[in-house]
Amino acid sequence: MEYMYAAMLLHKAGSEINEANLTKVLDAAGVKADKAKVTVVVNALKGVDVEKVLKEAVVAPVAAAPAAEASGEAKSEEAPKAEEKKEEVNEEQAAEGLGALFG
């Protein structure tokens, strides 16, 4: 993750994403840069429109949010049912206890 964050920082600063710059950013952040990983990240980002990718990535979580809310609503609907069952058990137990007192 650090490597991608460093690449995004370079992009935001308007600097070229190359091995030397990526290594400098990682070193400045206190991360010991692995030369192989640096090379992989730089090669993976060659020819990629980082700005376009970032804009598309921002759209994806928004689409996932309604699904998360829907599943949250389902959970909240299930929770009262479970609580109702617990309450019914407690009332039955209470009634049995009262029956024993007057029995």
- The predicted pLDDT at position 53 comes to 86
Distance CA 86, CA 82 (A): 6
User: Residue 83 pLDDT more than 60?
Assistant: no
Report the pLDDT value the prediction gives residue 95, as an integer from 0 to 100: 55
* CA distances (Å), origin 91, targets 77, 96, 101: 22, 9, 15
Residue 18 has pLDDT above 70, yes or no: yes
Cβ atoms of 8 and 50 closer than 8 Å: yes
Q: Among candidates 73, 62, 69, 2, which has minimal Cα distance to 31? A: 2
Average pLDDT over residues 73-81: 55
Q: Is the pLDDT of residue 103 over 50?
A: no
